[in-house]
Amino acid sequence: MASEPASEPPAAATPRDISGEGVYVTRKRSIFSKWLHGKGAFSSPANQPAPVFRSADVIQEGYMLKQGSRFRMLTKRYFILRLEEKHMTLGYYTSKEALVLCSETPIGPGHALYDISVEGHHRLELRHGTTSLIVEVETEADFVKWKNCLQEAVR
């Protein structure tokens, strides 16, 4: 009796599954990762799902360097600015491939955007109250794109 060749198991779904409609499926950070990075592992509801959104809602995406709040070191993160019902949301992830959510914030009229570039470093600061997010973009072209998109979001 001849055996049929074993079919290969289906490939595991990647965290960024772009289907026919272009859907981004993200993942939440583990509780250990939140605790390790001081992100309030037990303050956010555990039953809150990770964001899922369509590619049509994405305004701008790409890698930027984010300045840490405690040690002020720059870390490469994948940012996605997307349109929601009444505002835009800026989220950043560990990488484009994994799409593990680090943090996200809604952006609106209460925010202010500042160009804090210094010689050779294209930097933007997004402020809301006493909190700020400082990012650095590698190229002048990307800097202009991000600046224009974020300025539109804070209006």
Q: Establish if 119 belongs to a structural domain.
A: yes
145: CATH: 2.30.29.30
CA-to-CA separations, 140 to 68, 122, 144, in angstroms, rounded: 22, 7, 6
Residue 66 and residue 72: Cα distance in Å, rounded? 9
Q: Establish if 23 belongs to a structural domain.
A: no
Domain coverage including residue 144: 57-154
Report pLDDT for 138: 94
**Own/partner long-range contacts of 39-46 (Cβ < 8 Å, ≥24 apart):** 39/102, 39/103
Report pLDDT for 50: 74
Q: Establish if 101 belongs to a structural domain.
A: yes
pLDDT value at 29 more than 50: yes
What confidence tens digit (pLDDT) does each residue in 84-141 have?
888 899 999 999 998 888 888 899 889 999 999 999 899 999 999 999 999 999 999 9
Q: Establish if 125 belongs to a structural domain.
A: yes
Q: Establish if 65 belongs to a structural domain.
A: yes
- Report which DSSP code applies to 55: G
Place of tokens 């001849």: 2
Asked whether 77 and 102 are in contact (CB, 8 A), the reply is yes
Q: Establish if 61 belongs to a structural domain.
A: yes
Query: How large is the average pLDDT for residues 66-70?
Result: 86
Report pLDDT for 127: 95
Q: Establish if 3 belongs to a structural domain.
A: no
CA-to-CA separations, 102 to 23, 49, 152, in angstroms, rounded: 19, 14, 23
Q: Which string of DSSP letters, residue by residue, matches 131-155?
A: EEEEEEESSHHHHHHHHHHHHHHH-
Report pLDDT for 60: 95
Q: Which positions ≥6 away from 154 have C-beta within 8 Å?
A: 107, 108, 109, 111, 112, 113, 126
What is the pTM for the complete model shown? 0.73
How many domains does one find in the chain?
A: 1
Q: Establish if 116 belongs to a structural domain.
A: yes
Q: Which positions ≥6 away from 36 have C-beta within 8 Å?
A: none
